[in-house]
């Protein structure tokens, strides 16, 4: 292993975790409508990736099969619906609860895989059960503290399921398409879905304060583009298992950032539930990746 690559990739992964951890706090601090934030986030992201994809991988667009186009558009639909549920959840519940619940996407991904005929190890089911117990406790406590928060919790859970569907769909397509081409199609499709939803619901897409536009641009540049780019870079010498486990640090990272800014102190009552969810997710990730660990580690050696 190239030690210089390893150190730089650890740094890249650290930057990625910090970047994605800013997503929840920035959404909570932004006063723009949730669907507007979701739309502009995907629109601006597509605007950045499209020129890169066209200049560097023009042939990639021309060689797309009908199957790949349909798969990418379907992934974009799921991504758009994910943002349409998770971002509004932060208007009703805390950053701590929303981030913890949306992190359960790995649980729903395992359940979807089982429904598709993929065998699920016993240890993975244990992790799923622990996480779901944490989810039930968290939503129950949230409801007792603020009945309105239950809607936010349900939206965050829906966002987790849709994120899992997005990942499952993307896994079928990604091996055949370059990253820039795929993300351009997916972000564009998601933006169209969110635009339609915003128009149907009458959500304003403009007329925001300058502060809100800055937060939307920051959400796109920091949480989406920088965070995801650094994660892809880290794959050069770090295993997918390491990255999957590190991504779970978004939960405590977002909670700490939201505590400092915009000042959302998490209720102490929900801490045990958050711990249960985190422990369950770690078990699920480690169990689901265990059979691939050796192969993956070798694959990403320079």
pLDDT in tens, the chain (302 residues): 567 778 888 898 899 999 999 999 999 999 999 999 999 999 999 999 999 999 988 888 888 999 999 999 999 999 999 999 999 999 999 999 999 999 998 899 888 888 888 888 889 899 999 999 999 999 999 988 888 999 999 999 999 999 989 988 988 887 888 888 998 999 999 999 999 999 999 999 999 999 999 999 999 999 988 988 788 678 667 766 677 778 888 899 999 999 999 889 888 889 999 999 999 999 988 886 654 443 333 332 33
What is the model's pLDDT at position 298? 31
Is residue 164 within 8 A of residue 112, CB to CB? The reply is yes
Question: What does DSSP assign to residue 146?
Answer: -
How far is Cα 86 from Cα 273, in angstroms, rounded to an integer? 19
Residues 6+ apart with CB under 8 A from 143: 149, 150, 153
User: Residue 301: its pLDDT value, please?
Assistant: 31
How many CA atoms within 13 Å lie on the side-chain side of 240? 13
The Cα–Cα gap between 143 and 140 comes to 5
pLDDT at 297 (0 to 100): 36
Give how far the C-alpha of residue 230 lies from the chain's centroid of Cα atoms, to the nearest Å.
14
Could you write out the DSSP letters of every residue in the chain?
--HHHHHHHHHHHHHHHHHHHTHHHHHHH--S-HHHHHHHHHHHHHHHHHHHHHHH-HHHHHT--HHHHHHHHHHHHHHHHHHHHHHHHTTTS-HHHHHHHHTTHHHHHHHHHHHTT----HHHHHHHHHHHHHHHHHHHHHHHH-TTHHHHHHHHHHHHHHHHHHHHHHHHHGGGS-HHHHHHHHHHHHHHHHHHHHHHHT---S---HHHHHHHHHIIIIIIIIHHHHHHHHTTTS-HHHHHHHHTTHHHHHHHHHHHTT--PPPGGGHHHHHHHHHHHHHHHHHHHHTTHHHHHHHT--
Residue 88 and residue 203 in contact, taking contact as beta carbons nearer than 8 Å: no
Whole-number Å distance between alpha carbons of 206 and 32: 9
| C-alpha distances out from residue 67 to 54, 73, 173, 188, Å | 20, 10, 8, 18
Q: What is the pLDDT of residue 296?
A: 35
∠ Cα 147 153 158 (to 5°): 140
CB-count exposure of residue 202 (10 Å: 0-12, 13-18, 19+): exposed
Residue of 279, 284, 264, 286 whose CA lies nearest to 97: 264
């Amino acid at each position: 292993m190239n030690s210089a690559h390893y150190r730089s990739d650890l740094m890249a992964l650290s930057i990625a975790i910090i970047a994605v951890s800013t997503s929840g706090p920035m959404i909570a601090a932004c006063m723009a409508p949730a669907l507007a934030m979701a739309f502009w986030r995907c629109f601006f992201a597509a605007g950045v990736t499209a020129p890169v994809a066209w200049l560097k991988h023009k042939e990639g667009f021309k060689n797309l099969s009908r199957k790949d186009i349909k798969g990418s558009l379907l992934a974009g639909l799921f991504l758009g619906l994910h943002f349409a549920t998770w971002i509004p959840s932060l208007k009703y519940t805390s950053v701590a609860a929303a981030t913890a619940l949306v992190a359960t996407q790995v649980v729903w991904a395992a359940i979807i895989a089982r429904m598709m005929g993929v065998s699920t190890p016993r240890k993975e089911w244990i992790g799923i059960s622990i996480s779901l117990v944490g989810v039930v406790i968290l939503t129950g406590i949230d409801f007792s503290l603020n009945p309105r928060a239950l809607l936010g919790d349900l939206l965050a859970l829906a966002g987790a399921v849709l994120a899992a569907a997005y990942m499952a769909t993307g896994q079928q397509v990604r091996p055949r398409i370059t990253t820039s081409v795929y993300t351009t199609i997916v972000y564009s499709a998601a933006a169209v879905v969110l635009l339609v939803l915003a128009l149907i619901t009458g959500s304003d897409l403009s007329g925001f304060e300058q502060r809100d536009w800055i937060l939307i641009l920051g959400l796109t540049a920091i949480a989406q583009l920088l965070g995801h780019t650094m994660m892809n870079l880290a794959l050069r010498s770090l295993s997918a298992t390491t990255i999957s486990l590190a991504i779970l640090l978004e939960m405590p990272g977002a909670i700490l950032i939201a505590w400092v800014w915009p000042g959302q102190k998490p209720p102490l009552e929900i801490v045990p539930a958050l711990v249960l969810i985190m422990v369950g997710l770690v078990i699920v990730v480690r169990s689901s990746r265990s059979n691939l660990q050796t192969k993956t580690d070798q694959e990403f050696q320079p």
